[in-house]
Amino acid sequence: MADALSHDDRQAIGHLWLRQTLGLRVPRPYVESYVVSGARRTEVYGTRTVEYYGRSYLNDPSDLRAHLRFALRHEPADLRILVAAFKVLGPDPIRLWVQDEPTGSFSRRAWFLYETFTGERLDLDDVRGGPYVDALDPNRHIVAARRNSPRHRVVDNLLGGRDFCPTVRRTQRLEELRGAHVDAEARRLLDRYDPATLARAISYLYTKETRSSFAIEGETPTPGKAGRFVAALRSADRFDPQRKAAILALQNQIVDPRYAADDYRDFQNFVGSTTAGFREEVHFICPRPEDVGSLMRGWSTSIDRLIDDLDPVVAAAVIAFAFVFIHPFEDGNGRIHRFLMHHVLARTGFSPSGVIFPVSAAIARDQRSYDEVLESFSTPLLKHIDWQWNGDQTIAVGNDTADLYRYFDATLFAEYLHDRVIDTVHKDLRDELQFVSIFDAAIDAIDAIVDMPDRRASLFVKLCMQNGGRLANRKRDEFGELTDAEITAMEDAVRIIIQREANEQADMLPGLFETPSFNAM
């Protein structure tokens, strides 16, 4: 992005101007706008976009109202910047703007946003009539269903309220991911299998999700802890995250009893790592303990709106990532965060009843991308938090940081989760269903050749499946009781079944499936 930001003749406009001119302690917007001498153009640098506009877009570079109007008209809303600006400016600029333009669409939107997020009612009469305007531009944002604010004649399509209100931009990548309809693919895949095969495969998928979720935290769960987490996942559709008691009970269920919480944390927390020389490196600073209660209330209140109004995967991303950023507990936040993904997908019917898409397995396969998406939130925040070490290796935060967690842009998290859900359906769900189906059919086939004990037959089939349908040379001696002709016939039977399964899935979902490999099973 350095090349794009080197122009000498450009002037910031809109959100970026507000951030710079008012000295707002918030991260830069994902969309930065400038006026320049030259043609209108757009440049994209990774996750960030730079928009260039001609001089006609800004007659007076110092006109606050012009920059607010530009931000609301031409840019996706960055609530961190807008709310911080409102708090610095106070009520007069918005009140005077509405008095000058009482029916103006942008003045009314600014007025609605100001009162919503500051909680301050301006000395203005309600709007008497005229068309409603959207608080967020639905062409630029994923928005909630219509809720009218008659006072402002504004459609409240925000994803939350004053205590918690993330935004999701309508990017090309997100639209493509949402258009994949991987839930329909999963249903077509599931319809191929008999109930017994499905039951066995799904049982393993719950176990796989549990192991993967703990592995992301660098932990191997005890059988008891794993069993409790599987039980929680199986009832994820009935979980009620809006009940504080339910959240606490889940945390108690999945952590060591010594770290079970009886309330949200009342201490400052952070996420870090110990480097060479035993120095602690801070990666993420959690909200101050005095802010956790209001953040969790706002988060809880928004859940129905998010689940009822949004694409299920987008809703799951917003709800789950917001939870882990609030970090209300000392331990268990990450596992609850991933559990919440399953809660939303199950509650909305995106994942079929009784079926789990093991998203944590897809996350664990590429944990660096998971770390990167988390760092896209945590790293910019560090620059705007005043913190220092205490003598006991705890930290203290010295400034008000709550709005950094209340009004974040959740676009990257929605894109990320969509990508991981697609990956886990295409790989984990497919592989496990294939494995069980091929395994059962192969057992029947080799039993027709040699009536082997179940344990020996299972071992033979697993070894063949791990090696493309043949026993590895070094494994043949393990079956010294069999003749070469019997081994060859049994290998042929396994290979035929593997290829038949691959062909059937390729016919069902052309271009998606390849000949299966089960080395990791």
Q: Is residue 42 helix, strand or coil?
A: strand
For residue range 105-136, list pLDDT tens digits in order.
Answer: 999 999 999 999 999 999 999 999 999 999 99
Distance CA 149, CA 389 (A): 46
Listed in sequence order, the residues at least 6 apart from 219 whose beta carbon sits closer than 8 Å to its beta carbon are none
In a domain, 216, yes or no: yes
Tokens of 104: 């103006």
Q: In this structure, what are the phi and psi dihedrals at residue 390, rounded to the nearest 5 degrees?
A: -90, 170
Residue 58's closest CA among 3, 13, 113, 92? 13
Q: Which residues belong to the active site?
A: 327
* Cβ–Cβ < 8 Å for 266, 276: no
Q: Does pLDDT of 3 surpass 60?
A: no
The string of DSSP codes covering 142-208 is: --PPP-EETTTTEE---SSBTTB--B-B--HHHHHHHTT-HHHHHHHHHTTS-HHHHHHHHHHHHHH
Flag the least confident range among 170-179, 393-402, 404-413, 499-508.
499-508
The two tokens of residue 10 are 């450009």
Same domain, 406 and 303: yes
Residue 277: pLDDT over 60: no
Give the percent of the chain with pLDDT over 90.
86
Q: Is residue 196 in some structural domain?
A: yes
> Which residues make Cβ contacts (< 8 Å) with residue 18, sequence separation at least 6?
24, 67, 68, 71, 81, 82, 85
Residue 469 falls within a domain, yes or no? Answer: yes
Last residue of a domain, one of 45, 72, 99: 72
How many structural domains comprise the chain? 3
The answer to the question of residue 145 being in a domain is no
**Same domain assignment for residues 413 and 332:** yes
Among residues 321, 342, 313, the alpha carbon closest in space to that of 232 is found at 342
Q: 319-376: per-residue pLDDT in tens?
A: 999 999 999 999 999 999 999 999 999 999 999 999 999 999 999 999 999 999 999 9
From residue 313, give the alpha-carbon distance in Å to each of 247, 290, 358: 21, 31, 14
Residues 6+ apart with CB under 8 A from 5: 50
How far is residue 199's CA from residue 108's CA, in Å, rounded to a whole number? 55
Of 72, 100, 132, the residue at which a domain comes to its end is 72
Best CA proximity match to 521, nearest among 198, 205, 210: 205
- For residue 214, give the 3-state DSSP assignment: helix
Answer yes or no: do 236 and 278 share one domain: yes
User: Which of 44, 72, 100 is the C-terminal boundary of a domain?
Assistant: 72
Q: Judging by DSSP bridges, how do beta strands 133-134 and 154-155 pair with one another?
A: parallel
Looking up tokens 């959240």, which residue turns up? 247
Q: Give CA–CA dist 250/117, Å, rounded.
A: 32
Residue 416 in any domain: the answer is yes
The answer to whether residues 414 and 168 touch, using CB atoms and an 8 Å cutoff, is yes
What whole-number distance in Å separates Cα of residue 188 and Cα of residue 168?
30
How does pLDDT run across 444-481, given as a tens digit for each residue? 999 999 999 999 999 999 999 999 899 999 999 899 99
324, 453: one domain: no
65 occurs within a structural domain: yes
Q: What is the pLDDT of residue 38?
A: 86
Planar angle of CA 349, 351, 356, nearest 5 degrees: 140
Is residue 344 domain-shared with residue 488, that is, in the same domain? no
Q: Which residues are annotated as a binding site for ATP?
A: 331-338
pLDDT at 391: 81
Q: Which tokens sit at 57? A: 């877009």
Under DSSP, the state recorded for 426 is I
Half-sphere exposure of 2 (CA within 13 A, CB side): 0
- Side chain identity, residue 341: M
The rounded distance, in Å, linking the Cα atoms of 337 and 407 is 18
225 lies in the same domain as 338 = yes
- Among residues 316, 154, 333, 196, which one has the least CA distance to residue 255? 333
- Which residue type sits at 67? H
Q: What is the CATH number of the domain that holds 387?
A: 1.10.3290.10
pLDDT tens, residue by residue, 45-92: 999 999 999 999 988 889 999 999 999 999 999 999 999 999 999 999
Distance of alpha carbon 375 from the chain centroid: 13
Residues 400 and 499 in one domain: no
Residues 347 and 237 in one domain: yes
Report which of 296, 300, 298, 301 is spatially closest to residue 286, judged by C-alpha positions.
296
- What's the residue count for the chain? 521
Measured in whole angstroms, how far is the alpha carbon of residue 27 from the centre of its chain? 20
Within-domain flag for 83: no
384 with 479, same domain: the answer is no
Q: Tell me, yes or no, whether 415 and 467 share the same domain.
A: no
The 3-state DSSP composition of the chain as helix, strand, coil percent (nearest 5) reads 55, 10, 35
Rounded Cα gap, residues 290 and 239, in angstroms = 27
Residues 485 and 383 in one domain: no
Convert the pLDDT of each residue in 181-191 to its tens digit: 999 999 999 99
> Which residues contribute to the annotated binding site?
331-338
- Rounded Cα distance between 287 and 267, Å, is 10
Whether 502 maps to a domain, the answer reads yes
pLDDT of residue 1: 43
At residue 515, does pLDDT exceed 50? no
Q: Which of 208, 270, 108 is nearest to 429 (CA)?
A: 208
Q: Which residues span the domain enclosing 46? A: 1-72
* Separation of CA 408 from chain center: 13
Q: Per residue in 216-272, pLDDT tens?
A: 999 898 898 899 999 999 999 999 999 999 999 999 999 989 999 999 999 999 998
Co-location of 227 and 291 in the same domain: yes
